[in-house]
Amino acid sequence: MNNAVPVSSTLGPEDVTVQLRTMESQMAGVAPLTKAQRKQLRKRIRSHPKGVVEASINVIGVLGNVSQAIGQPLDEVRQLQDETIRWEAAADQTRAFLKVLEGANLVRRERLALIASQTYAIASQLAKDPDKAALVPHLEEVKRLKSVARRRKPAPDAPVTPVPSVDKPSTAPQA
């Protein structure tokens, strides 16, 4: 007789977060970059396409003087290149995973929105019964929040364009 408790293989959001943080803590040389640092690094990389980098690495192997001049042995440069390719694959897989997470959450949010709409519609009908008057303040709050959500928020730092005034002719008798 087996008394083992079945283990759930489904991860919850907290489990995913813990595992991601654990993986991040176990990765060597990982430091978050600022937006400016990322921009600067991307700009530098753009001037060195992969083909140029590969051809330049091949130059290191031609003469030992090149390797000595740059202070980088060819085998270490090739190892860095291999690690870069493998980490790019990991980053691609992580982006694909993020898309799955975001898609699943969009579906959940859509289901919640449908439930909210149905709840409001049913509660609005029920609130017409005086015995169900307790629903009225809740429905008014939902209605207020819907109104607030529909309002357009001004864009930050958007220039305010003054509306030109049009002088209307006076209808008062002139003396």
Domain ranges, ordered by start, for the chain? 47-149
pTM (2 decimals)? Answer: 0.65
d(Cα 34, Cα 29) in Å, to the nearest integer? 16
**CA-based R_g, the chain, Å:** 32
Tally the residues of the chain.
175
Write the DSSP symbol of residue 151.
Answer: S
Is pLDDT larger for residue 103 or for residue 169?
Answer: 103
Mean local confidence (pLDDT), 112-125: 96
pLDDT band per the 50, 70, 90 thresholds, residue 145: very high
Residue range 32-55, pLDDT digits in tens? 889 999 999 999 998 888 889 999
